[in-house]
C-alpha cells in the first residue's frame, strides 16, 4: 500500500528511482513520473490503464524552464502563461526531441503546465526533470481531489502519495493552444474562459464532446460514475424517481427536496457560487457513486464562469460509451 505523507524528500527519491508518486495540484491530484524517462512514463499508462493514444501533461515549476522542452512560444500563449502560471492552465507547444514521443502519443505538440500547489512546487524545484502527470484516477473514472481518493483507487499500485489536502480548484486545467493563428481552447477547466479572453481577446472553442481518439482526452464518456447517471430537470426527475421506487441520490447546485427516506442529496454550493461548486463536484460525485443508490440524478449549472466547465464534466459523466 502507498505511504501517504508530506515528505518531499521521500517523493523525490521515488521519482528519481523511476517510480510513480501521486502529487497534489490546485486542480486535481496527478499521477507523476519522470517525463524524460520512457520507463516511468510507460508505468503511468499501465497504472492508470490508460490507452497510449491519450497524451500526458508535463509539469514544471517555471515558465523559464519550459524553454528546454519546447520550441518557440507564440506571443499570445506566452502572455497567458505569464499571467496565469502558476495556475490551472495547460498550454500546447511544439515539442523538442528531449520529450519522449510516448508522452505526447506521437503528436508534435506537448502539453505543459506550471501548477500552483505549494508542496508540488517545492518538489518540482528540487527535481532536475519535469513530471508527466495525468489525473490520478483509473482511466475514465472521476478525477481525485483528495489523497484518500487516490489511495482508494491506486493505493496498491504506487509507493507514495504526497498529501496536499483538498484541491482548491477541483476541476482539471483549461487547455489552450494555437490553431490557424487563433488561440484555441481544447478543454474547458479550472481557469475561467472570461479570464483568458480578457488577456487575448476572443478564442476558438474546440472542446466539444467527441468519441474520436484523435481529439485526445475529449472522449465523450469520461469522468463517469459507475452508477446510472441522469442529467436533467430535477423538479421532474425527482418525482419520477420516487414513483419508480429505485434508490437514488441527488446532485444539485443548491436545490433541496423534501423526501421521506434516506435519499442522499448533495448541494454543490448552497449559496450558488460556481467556484465552490467546482471544488465540490468530484468529491460529491464520488460519494454518491459509493453510496447505496442505483441512480444519480443531477442538473446542469448556469452556463457562466466555471459553470461551463462543470457542465462539460457533467455531460461526459452522463454520456454512454
Beta carbons within 8 Å of 203's beta carbon, 6+ residues apart: 176, 182, 183, 184, 185, 193, 196, 197
Under DSSP, the state recorded for 70 is B
Q: Which of 28, 41, 234, 274 binds ligand TXA (CB under 6 A)?
A: 28
Burial code (b: 16+ CB inside 10 Å, e: under 16) for 155-168 equals bebbbbbbbbeebb
Binding partner of residue 92 among Mg ion, ligand TXA, none, CB cut-off 5 to 8 Å per kind: ligand TXA
Question: What distance in Å separates the CA atoms of residue 321 and residue 316, rounded to the nearest whole number?
Answer: 10
Interface with ligand TXA, residue 24, by CB under 6 A: no
Nearer to ligand TXA, 61 or 299 (CB): 61
Interface with ligand TXA, residue 60, by CB under 6 A: no
| 160 carries a ligand binding annotation | no
Q: x/- site string to ligand TXA, residues 210 to 249, per CB under 6 A?
A: ------xx--------------------------------
Beta carbons within 8 Å of 29's beta carbon, 6+ residues apart: 22, 23, 135, 136, 143, 144, 145, 146, 147, 149, 150, 161, 167
| 60 carries a ligand binding annotation | no
* Cell numbers found for residue 162: 504526497
Interface with ligand TXA, residue 121, by CB under 6 A: no
Beta carbons within 8 Å of 174's beta carbon, 6+ residues apart: 88, 89, 90, 185, 187, 188, 189, 190, 191, 193, 196, 309
| 316 carries a ligand binding annotation | no
Q: Which of 11, 66, 85, 113 binds ligand TXA (CB under 6 A)?
A: 113
Q: Which of 15, 20, 21, 27 binds ligand TXA (CB under 6 A)?
A: 27
| 143 carries a ligand binding annotation | yes
Binding partner of residue 175 among Mg ion, ligand TXA, none, CB cut-off 5 to 8 Å per kind: ligand TXA
Q: Which of 2, 20, 21, 56 binds ligand TXA (CB under 6 A)?
A: 56
**Residue 148 φ/ψ, nearest 5 degrees:** -65, -30
Interface with ligand TXA, residue 92, by CB under 6 A: yes
Interface with ligand TXA, residue 55, by CB under 6 A: yes
Residue closest to ligand TXA, measured at CB: 217
Min dist CB 288 to ligand TXA, Å, is 21
| 22 carries a ligand binding annotation | no
CB 63 within 8 A of CB 76: no
Size of the site for Mg ion (CB under 5 A): 1
In the sheet that holds 160-162, the strands lie side by side as: 3-5, 160-162, 21-23, 30-34, 131-132, 57-59, 109-113, 89-94, 174-179, 182-187, 204-205
- For the annotated binding site for L-threonine, the residues are 27, 113, 133, 173
Interacting residues toward ligand TXA by CB under 6 A: 25, 27-28, 30, 54-57, 90, 92, 104, 107, 109-111, 113, 115, 133-135, 172-173, 175, 186, 216-217
Residues of this chain that bind Mg ion (CB under 5 A): 135
Q: Which residues are annotated as a binding site?
A: 27, 50, 59, 113, 133, 135, 143, 173, 187, 223
Amino acid at each position: 500500500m502507498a505511504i501517504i505523507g508530506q515528505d518531499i524528500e521521500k517523493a523525490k527519491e521515488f521519482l528519481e528511482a523511476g517510480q510513480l508518486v501521486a502529487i497534489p495540484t490546485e486542480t486535481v491530484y496527478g499521477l507523476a513520473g519522470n517525463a524524460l524517462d520512457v520507463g516511468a512514463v510507460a508505468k503511468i499508462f499501465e497504472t492508470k490503464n490508460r490507452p497510449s493514444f491519450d497524451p500526458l501533461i508535463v509539469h514544471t515549476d517555471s515558465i523559464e524552464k519550459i524553454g528546454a522542452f519546447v520550441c518557440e512560444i507564440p506571443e499570445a500563449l506566452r502572455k497567458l502563461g505569464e499571467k496565469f502560471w502558476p495556475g490551472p492552465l495547460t498550454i500546447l507547444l511544439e515539442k523538442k526531441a528531449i520529450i519522449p514521443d510516448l508522452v505526447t502519443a506521437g503528436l508534435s505538440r506537448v502539453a505543459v503546465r506550471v501548477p500552483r500547489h505549494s508542496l508540488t512546487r517545492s518538489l518540482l524545484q528540487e527535481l532536475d526533470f519535469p513530471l508527466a502527470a495525468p489525473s490520478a484516477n483509473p482511466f475514465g473514472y472521476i478525477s481525485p481531489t483528495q489523497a484518500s481518493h487516490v489511495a482508494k483507487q491506486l493505493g496498491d499500485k504506487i509507493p507514495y502519495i504526497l498529501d496536499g489536502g483538498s484541491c482548491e480548484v477541483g476541476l482539471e486545467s483549461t487547455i489552450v493552444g494555437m490553431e490557424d493563428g487563433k488561440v484555441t481552447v481544447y478543454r474547458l477547466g479550472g481557469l475561467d474562459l472570461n479570464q483568458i479572453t480578457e488577456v487575448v481577446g476572443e478564442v476558438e472553442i474546440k472542446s466539444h464532446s467527441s468519441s474520436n481518439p484523435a481529439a485526445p482526452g475529449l472522449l465523450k464518456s469520461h469522468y463517469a460514475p459507475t452508477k446510472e447517471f441522469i442529467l436533467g430537470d430535477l423538479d421532474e426527475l425527482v418525482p419520477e424517481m420516487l414513483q419508480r421506487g429505485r434508490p437514488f441520490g441527488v446532485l444539485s447546485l443548491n436545490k433541496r427536496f423534501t423526501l421521506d427516506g434516506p435519499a442522499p442529496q448533495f448541494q454543490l454550493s448552497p449559496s450558488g457560487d460556481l467556484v465552490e461548486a467546482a471544488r465540490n463536484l468530484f468529491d460529491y460525485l464520488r460519494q454518491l457513486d459509493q453510496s447505496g443508490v442505483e441512480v444519480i440524478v443531477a442538473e446542469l449549472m448556469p452556463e457562466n464562469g466555471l459553470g461551463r466547465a462543470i457542465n462539460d464534466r457533467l455531460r461526459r459523466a452522463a454520456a454512454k460509451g
